[in-house]
Amino acid sequence: MATLPVSAEKLIASFGPSLNFPPQEGFPGRDEPDDVIKTHCCFCGMQCGIKLLVKNNRVVGFEPWEEFPFNEGRLCPKGVQRYLQNNHPDRLMEPLARVEGTGFRPIAWDTAFDQLTANIQRIQAQHGPDAFAMLSGVSLSNEKSYLVGKFARIALKTKNLDYNGRLCMVSAGAGNKKAFGLDRASNTYADLAHAEVVVICGSNVSETFPTLTHWIWQARDNGAKLIVVDPRLTPIARTADLHLPVRPGRDSALYGAILHQMIKHDWLDHEFIANHTSGFEEAKQAVADYDLEWAERITGIAKEKILLAAQWWGPAKTSFLLHARGIEHHSKGVENVLACINLVLASGRLGKPYCGYATITGQGNGQGGREHGHKCDQLPGNRDIENPEHRKYISEVWGIEEKDLPGKGLTAYEIIEAIDRGEIKGLLSICFNPLVSLPNNNLVRRALDKLEYYVCIDFFLNETARHADLVLPGSLQEEEEGTVTTAEGRVVRIRKAVNPPGNARSDTSILLEIARRLGAGKHFDFNSAEEIFNELRVASKGGTADYFGITYQKIEDHMGIFWPCPSEDHPGTPRLWEDRKFKTPDGRAHFHGVPYRDPAEITDPEYPVILTTGRVVSQYLSGTQTRRIGKLVNQYPEPLLEIHPGLAASLGIRQRELVRVVTRRGEAEFPAQIVETIREDTVFVPYHWPGRKSANQLTSGHLDPVSKIPEFKVCACRLVPTGKQAPAWEETKAYASP
């Protein structure tokens, strides 16, 4: 419901976010822990190894895990502070029922389950099974992701299941599937070490994947030239050999122009193109007119720089191209990705040592989560929910009739729109905070009002959960066994360090119990995470994301196994395409013609400035976890509007003046941070905050036609200086909902 049961201030007083700091003298017993658990960070897709120190069923600290091969002990500030999500005063420990006027009242689990199943059954009886939707997230382990996919289709019987990966890297996934027939980073980061040229397209690596920086710096120590494409001069771009400050939303023009130069100068691997690819002519045709003058006009990058990038990229012997949300969060996200892949394919530098291509998957289990079934169009093993063969196989594994398996449902943002249109009446969410993370969140709030019943599983009362009818206290990452798949495609083990505190329960046990009460118990007879994983292995067998040969034991023995791994004696596949056998129907890698088109919303006299959004190093996604950790909050406590001094001067904006940013969807005020490190036509706001500080009040709901990823990275705005200096951040109710 849109109206909160009591004011946001009162909810914040009871449920936070409050800031967790370690006690001054440290948690008692930290120096003599009961247990030291080798597991992984709960945050981004790097999934750095970390050791958690456990004392009396509490995580009381961490130690670097120096043996884990990807990060060798290295961590970012989020990783260092991640243990403070445990022992948190805001932790939910009882099921909570909404009570108008007073907030939430603790209730017994049994009552909660009764209420929940009654409402699911009522809504589905009245409006059909698809009127109850489910939203999930990829901070969940592979086991839980798989379980959610099966739960929604078999227990909840809805087709409308989607996940927050829809806001993350679906356009990369879709692009990879189109081009290679498989969705995974083609190489591990070890292939960066001796790449001659490293191109980073739209990724603020140093803030969003800090531990990846090491590998890039290592490449540079070995002489690599670094090219960074970003509208802002980020820390990774600061010392880059070439920084291409692209105008937001014009990425595919840049990559088209570079392909144009490669063709013009014949920096092509003809053998590779002829023998292992298709569609080159189409791609060539699309960029025929994309000369340097044109590219400079569209992208706003000096043509000399574009030429230099092409001169470095074109004839290089080895290279690694990385991209992330900067090119993916667009209404043409898939096209941007395909334009990048075209560059890689044209160079032929793939499937060889130090010849790499990868999307840097963002969320903790963004990779594994998107393969195993809580995506609206997908079944485990990265199978297609509309492919009859795939449906048949999974139905057999699950022991159901193929006709009982729902088809393709709506994507995350479309589910919210369907709720707003009154088509979806009930919602179950887990691990997703759409009120902060979805674009145009004024619409999200309005939609929540129209729900007849909303139940949320989470360990903290996140901003969306404040609107729920029922909140079920679930588990943290360190409270369940499982696996996740890192951005490199390495399947690693998540260890249970502690039990959920109080009456909180593991996410798995909650889902299993709901399934049982909905009458699907026989399909959900799991006694351990490993049993779920073993079913996942079978379900993924023969799919492109084949986990069949991966076992818990094998992962532990090797500190991770790279999929595909089709049989138990298979060592896993760190580097893809060495065999040149692409997973497309014709077995070739596909070029795509990517004609340039503008972003969905372009500037005009009324909204003359480009607004782009992104992240800061101390916060993670919608901040449900990181806005509760004291030192992370103090590092960057409120969103600032980054603005170029030229633009600021033209509007008379002073340093730290409050500036109102207005778009067609809403407005918000941010303190100005005047810096020379951003394009003059663009302003930037990080998005991790809710309520009045939420950048997503402004962003547009335009979706990519293929992947349905929203266009977070570009929209048109107007800046109105308020004439007031921004107050200290503590004085602004950054977290209150309006």
Partner 1 sequence: MITTTFRTDQEFFLDPQRCIGCHACEMACAECETNGHEPMIQVDYVDRFLSPQTSVQLCMHCEDPVCARVCPADAIMKDEFGIVHSANTARCIACSNCVQACPFGVPKKIEPLQLMMKCNMCYDRTSAGKKPMCATVCPSGALFYGTRVEMTTRRPNSTPVNQFRFGRQLVRTKVNIMMPKGATELVVDGEEASP
Partner 2 sequence: MISTLNLRAAAVAALATFLLVAAILLGSRNLANFDPALVAYLFGCIFACFGVVYRYCVWLQRPPTWRYFARGWQLFFSRRMVVYGWELMKHFVGDLIGQQFIRNRGMTLGYGHRLMASGCFLAFAVTFPLVFGWIHFGLKPGGIDTYEIYTFGFKTGEFPLHTWIAEVIFNALNWSAMLVIAGVMLLMRRRLTHAGQIAIQTFEGDWLPLIVLLAISVTGLGITLDYKFMGGQAHQFMAITHAITVILFLIWLPFGKFYHIIQRPAQLGVAIYRKAGTEGPPAICPHTGEVFDFKMHIDDLKDVTAELGFDYTRNDGTSHLDLSPRGKRAALATAHLKAREQSGSFFG
Closest separation between CB of residue 675 and partner 2, Å? 16
Selection from partner 2, partner 1, none that 213 binds (CB < 5 to 8 A by kind) is: partner 1
**Which positions from 633 to 652 touch partner 1 by CB under 8 A, shown as an x/- string?**
--x---------x-------
User: Under the criterion CB under 8 A, does residue 238 sit at the interface with partner 1?
Assistant: yes
Q: Cα separation of 337 and 203, whole Å?
A: 13
Angle at 633 between CA 628 and CA 636, to 5 degrees: 155
Alpha-carbon span 135 to 420, nearest angstrom: 15
Joined tokens for residue 269: 């691997």
Contacts of 260 (CB under 8 A, 6+ apart): 287, 288, 290, 291, 295
Q: According to the binding rule CB under 8 A, does residue 21 interact with partner 1?
A: yes
Distance of CA 202 to the CA centre of its chain: 14
Binding track, positions 27-66, relative to partner 1; x by CB under 8 A: ---xx-----------------------------xx-x-x
Q: Is 71 in the site for partner 1 (CB under 8 A)?
A: yes
Q: DSSP string spanning 608-637? A: -EEEEEE--TT--TT-TTGGGBHHHHHHS-
Residue 26 makes contact with partner 2 by CB under 8 A: yes
Q: Which residue has the tokens 């806005």?
A: 627
Nearer to partner 2, 220 or 517 (CB): 220
- Bridge partners of 456? 429, 471
Q: Which range touches partner 2 (CB under 8 A), out of 8-16, 142-150, 213-221, 351-359? A: 213-221
Element (H, E) at 103: strand 103-106
CA dist 187 and 353 (Å) reads 9
**Smaller CB separation from partner 2, 26 or 727:** 26
Q: Contact between 527 and partner 2 (CB under 8 A)?
A: no
Residue whose CB is less far from partner 2, 542 or 645: 645
* Options 541, 570, 631, 733; binder of partner 1; rule CB under 8 A: 631
Among partner 1, partner 2, none, what binds residue 75 when CB lies within 5 to 8 Å by partner kind? partner 1
Q: Which stretch binds partner 2 (CB under 8 A): 193-201, 218-226, 255-263, 507-515?
A: 218-226
Which residues in 103-122 contact partner 2 (CB under 8 A)?
none
Q: How many residues bind partner 1 (CB under 8 A)?
A: 46
Q: Are strands 470-473 and 96-99 parallel, antiparallel or unpaired?
A: antiparallel
Tell me if 206 contacts partner 1 by CB under 8 A.
yes
251-264 and 303-313 helices cross at what angle (nearest 10)? 60
Stretch that binds partner 2, among 21-29, 172-180, 473-481, 708-716 (CB under 8 A): 21-29
In whole angstroms, how close is the CB of 32 to partner 2 at the nearest point?
A: 8
User: Omega of the bond prior to 23 within 30 degrees of 0, cis?
Assistant: no
| 729 near partner 1, judged by CB under 8 A | no
Residues across the chain? 738
The Cα 638–Cα 622 span in angstroms is 13
Q: 33 or 373, CB closer to partner 2?
A: 33
Q: Contact, 359 vs 327, CB < 8 A?
A: no
Nearest residue (CB) to partner 2, 26 versus 89: 26
Show the 3-state SS of 280-343: HHHHHHHCCCCCHHHHHHHHCCCHHHHHHHHHHHCCCCCEEEEECHHHHCCCCHHHHHHHHHHH
From residue 500 to residue 539, the character string flagging contacts with partner 1 as x (rule: CB under 8 A) and all else as - is ----------------------------------------
Number of residues binding to partner 2, judged by CB under 8 A: 11
CB of 85 to partner 2, least distance (A): 22
Q: Which one among 176, 186, 234, 663 touches partner 1, defined by CB under 8 A? A: 234
Q: Exactly one of 35, 38, 57, 73 binds partner 1 (CB under 8 A); which one?
A: 73
CA dihedral 458, 462, 468, 471 (to 10 degrees): 30
Please give the C-alpha separations between residue 79 and each of 17, 39, 84, 350, 716, in angstroms, as whole numbers.
19, 12, 10, 32, 35
Residue 736: Cβ-neighbour burial (10 angstroms; 0-12, 13-18, 19+): middle
25: contact with partner 2 by CB under 8 A: yes
Cβ contact 591:582 at 8 Å: no
Minimum distance of partner 2 from residue 302's CB (angstroms): 20
Q: Is 21 in the site for partner 2 (CB under 8 A)?
A: no
Q: Is 150 helix (H, G, I), strand (E, B) or coil?
A: helix
**Shortest spacing between CB 476 and partner 1, in angstroms:** 19
CB of 703 to partner 1, least distance (A): 32
Q: How far is the CB of 590 from partner 2 (least distance, A)?
A: 36
**Pairing outcome for strands 319-323 and 197-201:** parallel
Q: Does 75 bind partner 1 (CB under 8 A)?
A: yes
**Interface positions with partner 2 (CB under 8 A):** 24-26, 28, 30-31, 217, 220-221, 223, 239
**Interface positions with partner 1 (CB under 8 A):** 21-22, 24-26, 30-31, 61-62, 64, 66, 71, 73-77, 79-81, 206-207, 210-214, 217-218, 221, 233-236, 238-239, 617-618, 631, 635, 645, 673-677
